Structure 1
Amino acid sequence: MAPALAPALALLQQRFVLGIVLLATAGTVVSQEVQAENVTVVEGGTAEISCHLHQYDGSIVVIQNPVRQTLFFNGTRALKDTRFQLVEFTQKVVKIHLSDAKLEDEGGYFCQLYTEDTHHQIATLTVIVPPDNPLVEVKEQAVEGGEIELTCISPRTRPAATLRWYRDRKELKGFTSKQENGKTFSITNSIRFSVDRKDDRDIVTCEASHPALKGQKKQTQYELDVQFSPTANIQPSQSLVREGDELNLKCEVTGNPRPTEIIWTRLNDSLPERAQIQGDVLSFPSLSLQDNGTYSCQVSNKHGRSSDQYVLVVYDPGAIIEAQTQVPYAVIGGILALLVFLVICILIVMVWCSVRQKGSYLTHEASGLDEHGEAREAFLNGGENHKRKEEFFI
């Protein structure tokens, strides 16, 4: 036993004897109580353990850890662990702080009040372990037309974290498994889906949620690496070229892994001596008619090969100017022809409407003449029946 505890234990014995004497003489016992509250702390954080006293009269108060080691004896440190600090000791409350809380600190802390009776309460300390940013592992290299399997891992949490996959803000359903490692859990969530070349460099996100994060999320983004065969596409610096012009042919390449070598050739002939190759560009500083021909660029990677061709036609300056001036006139002629056609259509419609209205007028006019003729005939024959004539005009 530590020498520092000897005076305290002697004081405890004296109070115990004093309690018995008081009980024998007065025949009454003063009821004293102690209360404690459960505490939850995040690993590495600071826990506050409080013992609330009622009707305290100066009796001995002892606080013990889960293995029943005495931490404080009436305000005096008894265990050499500086992470425990006594921050308050009054007639109503005894309060200690535990800094850098660890899983080993978890358990019941005893708040004991020694009087003629021993009163104690247990404050249960729970240590929770939030997840770090989850880890993402890929099972094998993804290739166009195949599948990819991704696994999200949260190796150490308590309680178990929840893992979810997202792509384009849509959740991907995966398979979750949990493994217990002592007091903590290892959580994994695996997904598998088909991939194409358009999926290369897309982002998928693994998200971990946990009560200790208080609504926040821990995320890890993974950029898809989908390998696919290459493509080649020749793009000229200008469409129409004439003798003496400069021309650059660029071989635009895609592929994963990206092809590192581009092979330029000319169909049925060698490349012109003046032509220069600079990576993916074939340059002609000054074109001549001898440069005419079909040029090709070829690329390859471990998934396949591709090529593209470009037919180079070099014009003399006059031909180029003529070809360039014909295009605007053709456009203008087409527009004028369309306008003439529209005008003719409008005139046809106007004539048709005019003829229809005139025919309708003549029809109504003839009908009116017939009515006047009948009235005239009735007037001439009115002598036969005067009454009928009047009724007719009415």
Structure 2
Amino acid sequence: MEREDGWKCQEIIRVFSLVALLTLQGAASQQVKVDPEVMSYPSQTVTLRCAFPDAGGMELTQVSWIYEPKDGQRSNIAVFHPTHGVNYPPSPLIGRVSFLTPTTLQNPSIQISDVQMTDEGKYICEYATYPSGNEQGITSLVMLAKPGNSATTVTVVAPPVAAGAQPVVVARCISADGRPAAQITWVTAVNGNATSVSTAGANNTVTITSQYTLVPTPVDNGKDISCVVIHRTQAKPEIFPMNLAIEFLPQVVIVGYDNNWYMGRTNVVLTCQAVANPIPTTVTWKTISGEMPETVQINGNVLTVLKVDELVNTTFICEVTNRLGTGKNQVSVMVREPSAISSNAGVVAGAVIGCLLALLVVAAIIAILVTRSRRQQQGYHSNPSHGSIDKKLRIFGAGKKASKNGTGAGGNGAGGNNNGPIYVYNDGPCQGLTEKPNQHAPLHLGGRGDEPVTTAQDILLSNELDEAERRKFDELEDEEERYDHFGVGGPILQLRPPHDQDGIMGGYLDDDMESQHDGSVISRTAVYV
């Protein structure tokens, strides 16, 4: 048991010592100062620096440079010993590698002239020290080669039917002989895929070829697509804008037929429009019967029918040809009867008649409004203040008809009855008789010399009363004449209206009544009922 325990302890100590040694070597290796990476172009001279600034009590005995290509064996390219001097062993770089002067163990930097693309790889600066052993630092030499970039589209033919068609290359972008390899991307709106292939070139260069593929269709022709190349030697990405080149058969459309070709219609036109790549070379018009109507004229892609007749009732075919083949389209014309014209004329005539009727209605409304306005402004001929036609007038003691001998009862002859007031019957909210002054009556009876009197003739002439009212006025005036003749040569009495028993009407006074020889009492003013 004791032996086993001792053996385990020895193993633990041995592992610990190994770890400690590796740690010390890692820490010591950091004392060799080199450039992690150096870039150069072909044919240039490159410097690889190395230094051991702080030995820390260690003795530096020798320094060596070792070349390790990316794919190959390691080889010494330069050695310096303080006693034995400089040595350049056989290597791919012999004759182009040398130490910088003055050469010391503390600064054993080297330079390589006329560098080649194959010189790319790792360069190790290794020190031999005592008692630590070898210490080293690694520099990577990166050779740069600016690539030659180019891009182009590939002209392809769109298949007749897209279903089942295979993708084809429509654009290609190349970054040739670059170091390191370039990165290529695509920018486009079309739906496709990009693939890239890397190929080793001369002198350790790389060529990148990228292709864009899709199933071509006519609508993709002319679409934008750009190739973008990114490389370490370029200050910014290089962009190549392009347009896709998709060839396809002519796509033909005939326009101009409005489905209203009637007998006798003139100068109707059909136009044959085509889209194609390459450009169409010929346009041909045909009919399904093989005979073109005599009234048809053809000028390139335009077909004109001078006058529509029965022969135009056919199918017109337009054929367009380009380098790939021929595309065509057709339109079937149906000739209609001339009734289409009359129906259109009827629509126009109806519109005109409707406009005229509307104008007549407007004119009639304006005429009615003007007539009503004039009537309201004029009123009765003898008294403009009476403009309302809602009033029914009753005249008491005025406006009698003229007698046959030329002297009316209301004139200057004997028995005149023009001194009494005029009463008006109002149909308004306040119904009843109202008194209107009489210009011929004395002032104490309510007469006004400055106002005209509305007579029965004025009312009849004003056309404001209906026929029944006119007859009634005629009867009243006849009755008035009888009263006037009855009083010829003597005074005429006035009777108080039945509804004015209280003496409201100022013109009817008790002293207006006059006794007669037969004992009766009669008013001086005639009475109309």
* TM-score tier (shorter): 0.3 to 0.5
Query: Which is richer in strand?
Result: 1
Flag the structure with higher helix content: 1
The higher relative CO (CA closer than 8 Å, separation ≥ 6) is in: 1
Provide TM-score, normalisation by structure 2. Answer: 0.36
Give 1 or 2 for the bigger CA radius of gyration: 2
TM-score, scaled to structure 1: 0.47
